[in-house]
Structure 1
Amino acid sequence: MAETSTKGQTTNNNAPITVEVDTSYENDSSYGDELSSYTASLTSSVLEYRQENGRRYHGFRDGAYLLPNDETENDRLDMLHELCLRLLHRKLYLAPVKNPQRVIDLGTGTGIWAIEFADLHPQAEVIGCDLSPTQPSLVLPNVKFLVDDIESEWAYEGNPFDFIHARYLAVSIRDFPKLIKQFKPGGWVEFQDYDGYATSQDGSLNGTGLQRYYDEVLSAFEKAGYETRPGPKLERWFKDAGFVNVHVEKFVIPHGIWPKDKHLKDIGAWAQAGAEAAYEAGALAALTRYKNWTKEKVMLLASDARADGRKRNIHSLFYFYVVYGQRPEN
């Protein structure tokens, strides 16, 4: 179920969801030695992961991102990739990108989107950028991965990108408007992201352990300075940055298999599976570092959320936004 827009205007389609009844210095040797030493030091710092509360976190710019980067989390990210493909009817993106030559995927995670885009567009150079070097080493020749903080000053656009893609950056970025304003004119930019707070159309989420989970965890991210609800704000941020041809689509992602609609039921099953893998991962660092919770208290909160997420009479859902546009050349 989507909310679409044309010519920069959004058309609402927020019909209630029917609930299913329970049935250059190459000759300078000293410079080369210095560069090798620096590179070795940098590589070491990138791989010096933080181990905390039984989970592994990135080493480069330690603390800039509050979710793990271990194998359990990587499996969850790949699960979210499949969820998004199902939501968008197997499309990697919605922007009208034509014959892209240079593409970047921000916060690439496992690199799965970048790899699939490169396979789809073999003529394109595709860059995946992330704080963690957790992407596969054997990839297509037109893909490369960089370890960097995308909120630092941009140094990627000596040659502008034809397409800039970002997905699931909620609770990862502190200043979305600053990031978006750094993009150079010409190419398409597409962000796909959540309103991070769960809701329900019938009030069934109110007062549940599931609602408490999102209230506690997202307020911790907000205390740390992160944006938790980027989805509904993306259109305004794009337009404030001077973008034109801005297009918005708003999707409903149910939590669980309670919808009667077959497509929404499928989406809901994937969303619930992803959420169950995320309760612990999403809460541990945020609550222990910024609210002084113990690990045991976090695990109890996650357990309550997981239990409520499996109750068919709680009809929780999220709103997910796909927004794309261009900055004009002039």
Structure 2
Amino acid sequence: MTEASEVPSVTLQSQSQPQTNPASHEVRVDNFDDNDSSYGGDLDAASETTSLYSLITRHVYENGRRYHSYRAGTYWGPNDDTAQENLDLFHHIFNLSLDGNLFLAPIGPNPQRILDIGTGTGIWAIDVADQYPSASVVATDLSAIQPSDVPPNLEFQIDDFTLPWTFSKNTFDFVHARCIYGSVADYPALYSSVLDHLKPGGWFEQSEISVIPKSDDESINGTSLEQWGPLAWECGEKFGKSFKIAEESRDIMERAGFVNVQRKTVKWPIGPWAANRKMKEIGAYNRLGWDEGINGWAMFLLTKYLGWRSEEVEAMCAHIRRDLRNKHIHAYQDVNQKALLRGSSENYLAAPVVQVIPVIISPEERSSLTRCWSAISRRSSADDILAKGPPDFKATQNLQQQRPILTRDDKVKLNAATLELKSSEETRFLVASRELWLVDETQGTLDREDEAA
């Protein structure tokens, strides 16, 4: 890890005293009574605690936004009420995207210790503490903005997760991170810390939203919305903390030593233009998130690292908000979620896994697809699958080239490019096997509503 700046310390100030020569003056020890109030007792400790608390809870104000003061400037986002509401809104969008689930990793029904790094308002940690009341949940952040009325099994800590961790090693069943782009200068060092502190067989899950808006029909081309992503990437390069982690994290994670890196990629529309009801709802909330969030995302980065004036940032934000309301722009973002295991393949195969695999498919294809997964589960050994990696659509077709698992029709139906997102064709499959098979769910082209509608 690159050397981090020292954590701010609090020094108690005393009144100045005349300088003396220590060699010519003897300091006598007063045989004071144990109850002598002049010694201070708990008063000085309380004063020091109060000073440290003030350091953590006070804020920095710049260009009309409020930022954290503890390790000020190490994170780019504001922490004022508007920013907090925006964080909670995106938590809701993640819940919609995950069909009400808080994560993908199969951590089992009784995790003992869970860590959430970069918790923000703490809303995810609160929900997971409610869901697992027997687990001890710890959540860290640079900003002391979390509520005090929380489940008794949840503890918030004000800390920088990019510094060396103070937790005992091999202690967590699950470590969770979400939207930490632009926060980390040394991802290999962070992932090393995660690995060190997970129990063998423990899970790490990271979810990242790409900052690059896209469109399949090129309707975003030439817009202010399109310009935002490259600007964020440029700021990250100058800031020394990448905003490309959604695109780059898988290779870094595998090099760090995680096994069975499972990746799920979904598209979040920006705006309610998608025909599918679920995607339409996600798009509506995502547009609101952009509308309320773009000022906070851009102000610190563009003024500090690209030399923009605050008025220029405001003007760009206004142009982006105009694009958000243009129904002819069919923009979306890729959202990557990765569940990773710490441990050997033997640990990974120690117990059967039942995993919900979201698949978008027509009712007529259900029986064929079910037969396909069942055939793979019966006829493919764990060694074969581990050698080839998790059987996503492509890997499944590679397996077919070596053994007659699937029929030709089944292979066609497993082609990800043929699976289009249509609300009338959504279903789910429960697939039980010795492996966690999580389909790489790049959803293809999102259907959009008729422009005239």
- TM-score range normalised by the length of the shorter chain: 0.7 to 0.9
Q: CA deviation at 1:188?
A: 0.6
Map 1:173-252 onto structure 2 (within 5 A).
173-183=184-194, 184=196, 185=198, 186=200, 187-252=202-267
Residue 286 of structure 2 aligns with which residue?
271
Q: Please tell me whether residue 120 in structure 1 is matched to residue 131 in structure 2.
A: yes
| CA shift in 2, pair 1:223/1:31, >3 Å | farther
Shift of 1:224: 0.8
Q: 2:61 aligns with which of 51, 67, 91?
A: 51
Contact 2:264 2:337 in 1 (8 A): yes
Query: Matched residues in 1 for 2:45 and 2:92: separation?
Result: 41
Partner-residue secondary structure (3-state), 1:68: coil
Q: Is the 8 A contact 1:100 1:163 kept in 2?
A: yes
User: Cα–Cα, structure 1 residues 153 and 35, in superposed 2: closer, same or farther, change >3 Å?
Assistant: farther
Which runs of no fewer than 5 residues in structure 1 stay unpaired?
1-26
Q: What are the superposed Cα offsets for residues 83-123 of structure 1, whole Å, 9 maximum, x if unpaired?
A: 00001101000100021111111100000000000000000
Q: Report percent identity of matched pairs.
A: 37
Per the TM alignment, residue 31 of structure 1 is displaced from its structure 2 partner at its CA by 9.5
The Cα of 1:222 is off from its aligned counterpart by 2.6
Q: Kindly tell me: are residues 159 and 36 of structure 1, through their superposed partners in 2, closer, same or farther at Cα, counting changes over 3 Å?
A: farther
Count of residue pairs brought into register by the alignment? 303
Asked if 1:317 corresponds to 2:332, the answer is: yes
Contact 1:50 1:58 (C-alpha < 8 Å) held by counterparts: yes
CA contact (8 A) 2:211 2:232 kept: no
1:194–1:229 Cα contact (<8 Å) kept: no
* Structure with higher RCO (Cα < 8 A, 6+ apart): 1
In structure 1, distance between residues paired with 2:185 and 2:162: 8
Per the TM alignment, residue 211 of structure 1 is displaced from its structure 2 partner at its CA by 1.2
Q: CA deviation at 1:291?
A: 1.5
TM-score (norm 1): 0.87
The normalised TM-score by structure 2 is 0.64
Q: Relative to structure 1, is the Cα distance of residues 241 and 158 closer, same or farther in structure 2, using a 3 angstrom cutoff? A: closer
- Residues 47-106 of structure 1 deviation map (CA, whole Å, 9 limit, x = unaligned): 221011111000100001111001110000000000000011010001000211111111
Q: Contact 1:85–1:91 (CA<8 Å) still a contact in 2?
A: yes
Q: Which residue of 2 aligns with 1:139?
A: 150
Q: Which has the higher Rg, Structure 1 or Structure 2?
A: 2
Per the alignment, in what secondary structure is the counterpart of residue 101 of structure 2? coil
Query: What SS does the corresponding residue of 2:343 show, helix, strand or coil?
Result: coil
Worse-matched range after superposition: 198-207 or 80-89: 198-207
**Could you say what secondary structure the match of 2:314 adopts?**
helix
The alignment partner of 2:205 has SS state of strand
Residues 123 and 298 of structure 1, relative CA distance in 2, 3 Å threshold? same
Query: Could you tell me how far 1:32 is from its partner in structure 2?
Result: 6.4
Distance 1:32 1:247 in 2: 52
Higher mean C-alpha displacement, 131-140 vs 175-184: 175-184
Q: Is the 8 A contact 2:129 2:154 kept in 1?
A: yes
Residue 72 (structure 1) aligns with: 82
CA-to-aligned-CA distance 1:11-42 (integer Å, 9 cap, x gap)? xxxxxxxxxxxxxxxx9x88967654543332
> Residues of 2 paired with 1:117 and 1:40: CA distance?
31
Please state if 1:106 is matched with 2:121: no
Structure 1 residue 157: deviation in Å?
2.9
Distance 1:276 1:117 in 2: 28
**Is contact 2:205-2:338 (8 Å) kept?**
yes
Verify the 8 A CA contact 2:232 2:243 in the aligned structure 1.
no
Q: Is the 8 A contact 2:233 2:242 kept in 1?
A: no
Distance across 1 between alignment mates of 2:41 and 2:242: 42
Could you tell me whether the CA contact under 8 Å between 1:106 and 1:164 is conserved in 2?
yes
CA contact (8 A) 2:114 2:136 kept: yes
Deviations 1:95-154 (A, max 9, x none): 000211111111000000000000000000111100001000111100010000100011
Give distance in 2, aligned partners of 1:205 and 1:302.
Answer: 16
Q: Secondary structure at the match of 2:211?
A: strand
Instruction: Give the letter aligned to residue 244 of structure 2.
Output: R
Conserved 8 A contact 1:213-1:302: no
Distance in structure 1 (CA, Å) of the matches to 2:128 and 2:175: 12
Matched with 2:299 is: 284
For the aligned residue pairs, the C-alpha RMSD in angstroms reads 1.9
